[in-house]
A = this chain, B = another copy of it.
Amino acid sequence: MDQLKFIVRSTWMLLLTISVNSDAIGQDRDRKIAFPDVPGYVSLKCDLHIHTVFSDGSVWPDIRIQEAVKDDLDAISLTEHLEYQPHLDDIPHPDRNRSYLLAQEYAKPYDLMIIHGAEITKDMPPGHANALFINDANLLNHEDPLTAYRAAKKQGAFVFWNHPNWIQQQEDAKPIISSLHQQLMDEDLLHGIEVVNDITYSEHNFELAMKHGLTALGTSDIHGLIDWQFGLVDGGHRPITIVFAKERSIESIREALFAGRTVSWFNDILIGKEEYIRPLATSSLTLRSKDFIGPSSVEEIVITNNSSARYVLRNLSNLESYNQSDVIIVEPGGETLVQVITNDAKPIMSLKMEVLSTVIGMQKHPIIDFTIKQ
């Protein structure tokens, strides 16, 4: 009897204004993830590491589509383990593309891209890896890692190393580039690395990515439910990779991933190369000169954040503030007023700030000179 999706819950609304929607997906308040485009690129919100019952996950693919639509993602990939199949007795599925095919079907009513992927699941080295943009997952299922990676390459796959920090495979949580990994990179079989997986962010992994020129990714690696795993009721969100693509297409995502144009979002942190963090931050935050207070030398600057990430800033401008310390926080979708004492009432043209909530290297944050709109 599940065809009746319309729910009006009048008796529970209290004083909240909750709109009545005509389908289950539309019921959600404010969980939609938003990041602005940057000059030259669209910012696509992607979760590229996801499981269903077709490997060791706990839901049918339709739930993954609905979760993604609720989160307003642009693209997802169901990356079932090729080797690890705990439900195999119940779900024999000889065709390892089955999860992808079902997802494609369920996604049809929505503007959500499904990227064909699979997880090559090996002991260390090389550990686990996701192959994306493949044609046939079955052909990747080889016991020998190298053979599997080479089969992925044959399909033009973008391959990234999953959770190298995973303590079950790396007890000290400090993965190293083994000779096998080196070979994978030498043969152009490995292109990326997870810096965020599930509820972990590994500074170590990010260092590896930067050092070896690997694309950094953040993924949910969800097995259960997104809402539960990431504390939706308390305002949490799944980790995603923001991909800076030339246009909104699967092919463009592929091109961007090979080119390394990504930022990972995890809790309040944005992690990525400085060249992508910088335009994302300047596109997300707008500084606008509001006015001087009365006839004084105190200028009012309003900082607006049109993204879902909380920004923590450290003002490095050599200016005394009138209502803030040098640490300034701008909430998602919010505004913060900064009153600054000018020199001789000359308008301030920019604020130089260390963007503490973004990370461009091990404990390293970009310093950005934000222009103030007059």
Task: List the interface of chain A (C-beta within 8 A of B).
Answer: 1-18, 20, 22-24, 27-30, 53-54, 57-60, 62-63, 66, 87, 90-93, 98, 162-163, 165-168, 171-174, 197-204, 221-225, 227-236, 267-269, 271, 293-298, 300, 302, 310, 312, 314-315, 320-337, 339, 341, 344-345, 356-357, 359, 362-363
Contacts and interface: CB of A to CB of B under 8 A. Distances in A.
* Chain A to chain B: the 9 pairs with minimum beta-carbon distance, closest first: A10-B336, A8-B337, A167-B296, A12-B235, A2-B223, A12-B234, A58-B60, A13-B331, A326-B363
Contacts of A92: 92
A15 B323 contact: no
B221 A2 contact: yes
A339 B167 CA distance: 12
Nearest to A295: B171
B5 A20 contact: no
Contact of A23 (B5, B199, B223, B302): B5
Contact of A293 (B8, B167, B327): B167
A234 B168 contact: no
B14 A10 contact: no
Contacts of A16: 14, 16-18, 234
B7 A63 contact: no
A332 B11 CA distance: 10
Main secondary structure on chain A at its contact with chain B? loop
Contact of A9 (B221, B267, B300, B332): B267
Contacts of A341: 172-174, 204
Copies of the protein in its oligomer: 4
B233 A28 contact: yes
A57 B1 CA distance: 11
Query: By CB atoms of chain B within 10 A, which of A330, A337, A357 has the most?
Result: A337
B167 A7 contact: no
Nearest to A28: B233
Contacts of A174: 297, 320, 341
Given A58-B62, A296-B172, A322 B14 contact: no
Contacts of A302: 8, 20
A334 B24 contact: no
Contacts of A5: 23-24, 229
Contacts of A7: 24, 27, 199, 229-231, 236, 337
Contacts of A30: 15, 17
